[in-house]
Structure 1
Amino acid sequence: MTFTFRPLDPLKDAELLHSWVTHPKAAFWMMQEAKLQDVERAYMEIAADEHHHALLGLRDGVPVFLMEKYDPARRELVGLYEAQPGDVGMHFLTPPTDTPVHGFTRAVITAIMAHLFEDPATRRVVVEPDVRNTAVHALNAAVGFVPEREIDKPEKRALLSFCTREQFEKAVAA
């Protein structure tokens, strides 16, 4: 599967995003009760933030997933771990579907990781999914993430995990 990326347009894409983040499948996204205006506002804040970026992943020009990348030394994980130069934080969301495609989500996270490592400054990717999100833990492991420890964030208990470029390349070559 081939994906391309484009910056998310908070106003143009808000309705689509709203349908994704409020779906029961997206419970770990913590926006179940969000109104359309809440989604617009949240992504306008990200668009204005030089340390946090939202992108849509496209397949044949159609948005099929959301990816956020952020500087974990300045957003999300400030004070919760010792950031290193070249660390990039990442979140991703695949929307609900009535016709699941086997291997789709793994292809998405693989494409996201490859995209992040296209930047030579990226040395490792940092994630902090909810400890209860076992599905994403398995996907993370499949692309080379190694859990370090559980941490307490204001909104959740999270599993802090890291993946270096070498760990990613080894995992996807296997």
Structure 2
Amino acid sequence: MNNAEIVSEKQGIKKGALPDGRLWTLDSEGYQCQLELDNFFKVRHRITSDFAQVHISSHEAESTGLNNWLDWVFGTHGDIKLVEIISLGGKKINEILKSDFYQRKDLWYRGNNGGNFPLRWVENEQGVKHPLRAKPVEGEVYRRHFYSLEMDLSLRHLDPDSDLELFTSWMNMGRVAKFWEEEGGMDKQRKFIQDVIQDPHKYPLIACFDDVPFAYFEVYWALEDRIAPYYNCQPFDRGAHMLVGNSRFLGRRYAQAWFNAVSHFMFLDDCRTQTLVGEPRADNGPLLKYIDGTFGWKKIKEFDFPHKRAALVTCDRDEFFESMGEI
């Protein structure tokens, strides 16, 4: 749903539903949204403004069921930066900034950190002093619905047994091997996976659309990674190596969703993370095309690793949450 559709539907009625089945109706008065059973509330938004009003009783404003509707409002109207919660008597109860809302963890995050892991400095085998990292949990760590795709995107810890065959097939695809240079049989990929799992600064994730695996993300702490000497690295900076293995999900509209999601997960996984970084090959045009200018990401420079010419790309936390919009 976009703002143009709001205008075009003024003379008629349009209906839809959240993924959980709760209904909305759009007419000339705005949206009527189902909170529970026969209980509906109003959402009003002028297309010339960057805020919407939710008209609801004071008691209903505390309902956890309202959070999914706020996600729907922000997720389907990219220009809305603020939602005002208005009582049925016309009094403002609360106001919610989009940039604050998407930093909450309860709707999307399933991990075990969230910035709660205590700060304790340790030194690794390479002599790098860094904060002790929380051990990643197995299973699903993130799930979010993308309304433009009408699909859920989820992230789960890579399973070294059940994911091995799929992971091997991805690594041996020509377009993947060109940039990863890790092609080889299942024995080689099994060792690759075990090395990643045993490395405390890495977090191997399988990404799924509606539970169909499509990509591998290797999330890492930048301070302990090879990228650290090439920029002003901070203790909780984070990055991710990535590959899309399922060709069905190639293309800009999918890339915007997964790039937004994995960035969102990294920021939620530790509130002390202020910057995300990446170092794709400088000649990886398709990836750089998706990255530059996407939700706070930008290319900073090119530099030389021993094994490749790389592009340094970064994302600032505040810019990311300010720029999150309709996807």
Q: TM-score, normalised by structure 2?
A: 0.49
Confirm or deny that 1:10 pairs with 2:156. no
Conserved? CA contact 1:94–1:105, under 8 Å: no
Runs of 4+ in 1 over 4 A off after TM superposition: 98-102
Match of 2:89 in 1: none
CA distance in 2, matches of 1:101, 1:127: 20
Amino acid at match of 1:72: A
Match of 1:131 in 2: 282
- SS of 2:259's partner is helix
Confirm or deny that 1:155 pairs with 2:307. yes
Match of 2:317 in 1: 165
1:56 to 200, 206, 228: 206
Alpha carbons of 1:143 and 1:25: their partners in 2 closer, same or farther (altered >3 Å)?
farther
Confirm or deny that 1:23 pairs with 2:173. yes
Tell me by how many angstroms 1:54 deviates.
0.5
CA distance in 1, matches of 2:209, 2:248: 17
Amino acid at match of 1:128: E
Confirm or deny that 1:90 pairs with 2:244. no
Tell me by how many angstroms 1:67 deviates.
0.9
Amino acid at match of 1:28: F
Encode CA deviations 1:104-153: one digit per residue, 9 max, x unaligned. Answer: 12211111111111121221110000000011111112232122221212
CA distance in 2, matches of 1:53, 1:158: 22
CA distance in 1, matches of 2:274, 2:249: 36
Question: Which moves more between the two structures, 146-155 or 123-132?
Answer: 146-155
What's the RMSD between the two structures over aligned residues? 1.9
Tell me by how many angstroms 1:100 deviates.
5.1
Residues matched between the structures, number = 173
Alpha carbons of 1:30 and 1:3: their partners in 2 closer, same or farther (altered >3 Å)?
same
Conserved? CA contact 1:85–1:123, under 8 Å: no
Tell me by how many angstroms 1:9 deviates.
1.5
Identity of aligned residues (%): 28
Tell me by how many angstroms 1:59 deviates.
2.1
CA distance in 2, matches of 1:91, 1:34: 19
Tell me by how many angstroms 1:79 deviates.
2.4
Amino acid at match of 1:114: H
Question: Which moves more between the two structures, 156-165 or 138-147?
Answer: 138-147
Task: Show structure 1 runs of 5+ residues with no match.
Answer: none
CA distance in 1, matches of 2:239, 2:179: 17
Conserved? CA contact 2:213–2:246, under 8 Å: no
Which structure shows the bigger proportion of residues in strand conformation? 2
Task: Show structure 2 runs of 5+ residues with no match.
Answer: 1-150
- SS of 2:196's partner is helix
1:143 to 274, 295, 299: 295
Q: Which has the higher contact order (CA 8 A, sep 6+)?
A: 1
